[in-house]
A = this chain, B = another copy of it.
Amino acid sequence: MTGATTSSPRRARARRGEGEKLRREILDAAERILRNTDDASAVSIRAVADAVGVTPPSIYLHFADKNELLWEVCQQHFEHLDRHVRDAMKRSGASDPVTALLTLGRAYVDFGINNPEHYRILFMSKPDDQPPTFDMEHLRTTGFGQLLDAVSAAMDGGVLPKGNPMPVAVKMWAGVHGLTSLLISKPDFPWPDRAHLVDDHLTMLLRGAGLPT
């Protein structure tokens, strides 16, 4: 390893009219760095530029500042989570509402454990480090919308007590998020019987929400 350099080879300049290509490459590189390092602070303007094979000022050709870049990456993660949960629902092909809720919960925890740094950014970071909008409209495309629908379906199907699904969904979310985030933050905690922990937890939450036992 003599004279080895960690920087990527210089990227070929885009052709006229294809400047937008770099935008995608920047987002992909940011995502790649995040996944490789599992450390959000490693995603710096300089690191991204280097990974793309371009100089730092080039980033500013496509993003106003670092936050704008980060928030766009963040937006992709929300979509990633949404897709992950949606796929799991489709695969399970669950017809009854309880199985649907369990599948939903499992997929959510699964996403968190397999993408800890992504999950951390989405749900554990400081409000200031998050995209400025986190309103109901945004929620619908975030996995929470699917949870809300699933709770509604369970109420309609008579397996959960009828009522406003919103508070119930919120509490379920809080319950599932709690386990997910603790598994991420405290990997060395003496977790009991991890094999069934997630299912046990989900079952507890459903029972607490009024599911007859």
List chain A positions with a Cβ less than 8 A from chain B: 120, 123-127, 130, 134-136, 139, 164, 166-167, 170-171, 173-179, 181-182, 185-193, 197, 200-201, 203-210
Query: Hey, which chain B residues are within 8 Å of A167, CB to CB?
Result: 192-193, 197, 200
Query: Hey, which chain B residues are within 8 Å of A177, CB to CB?
Result: 178, 181-182
Query: Hey, which chain B residues are within 8 Å of A176, CB to CB?
Result: 178
- Do B207 and A207 have beta carbons less than 8 Å apart? yes
Query: Hey, which chain B residues are within 8 Å of A208, CB to CB?
Result: 203-209
A121 to chain B, nearest CB (A): 11
> Which of B124, B127, B186, B206 makes the CB contact (< 8 A) with A188?
B127
Copies in the complex: 2
- Do A171 and B201 have beta carbons less than 8 Å apart? yes
> Which of B124, B127, B136, B171 makes the CB contact (< 8 A) with A124?
B124
CA distance A197 to B188 in the complex (A): 30
Query: Hey, which chain B residues are within 8 Å of A204, CB to CB?
Result: 171, 175, 205, 208-209
Determine the main DSSP class of A at the interface with B: helix
CA distance A192 to B210 in the complex (A): 18
Query: Hey, which chain B residues are within 8 Å of A191, CB to CB?
Result: 170
Between A and B, 25 residue pairs with Cβ closer than 8 Å are A120-B126, A124-B124, A130-B185, A135-B190, A136-B190, A164-B192, A170-B191, A170-B197, A174-B178, A174-B179, A174-B201, A175-B179, A175-B201, A175-B204, A175-B205, A177-B181, A177-B182, A178-B178, A178-B181, A181-B181, A204-B205, A204-B209, A206-B208, A207-B207, A207-B208
CA distance A102 to B63 in the complex (A): 49
A85 to chain B, nearest CB (A): 17
CA distance A164 to B27 in the complex (A): 48
- Do A171 and B187 have beta carbons less than 8 Å apart? no
